[in-house]
Amino acid sequence: MLFFHSAKEGRKINALKENIDICFEMDCEHRLITGDEACQYSYSFKSIIGNGKVVFIDDVEEKKTALSILMRHQTGKVFSFDDRMVNSVLVFKIIVHEFAGKYHP
């Protein structure tokens, strides 16, 4: 399960509300691989791609939990959220059905 927060409206949210079946991709550890010739150049990365369904979270306590998980992941710190803070954003999760990873050293 993946958690996200967003503005309450916009192009992305409209698209997700129109079709909750999604594909996602994430990547990290990018590095240019150089060479003496053009064909020796490449790119190092790690990535994951998967499919799932979007579920919008309306329950205030579940939103607080999701936002806490996001902040702990990003900062390593524990934060608490009041109702005003939680109600200012849209929170959703992706229930992942399948995924595959790729690594190019």
pLDDT in tens, 41-58: 999 999 999 999 999 999
Residue 81's pLDDT is: 93
Average pLDDT of the chain, as a whole number: 96
Q: Which residues on neighbouring strands pair with residue 52, listed in sequence order?
A: 22, 96
Set out the domains of the chain in order of their start, with CATH numbers. Answer: 2-104 (2.30.110.10)
Q: CA torsion sign, 33 to 104 to 28 to 22? A: positive
Which pTM does this prediction carry?
0.83
Tell me how many helices (H) and strands (E) the chain has: 3, 4
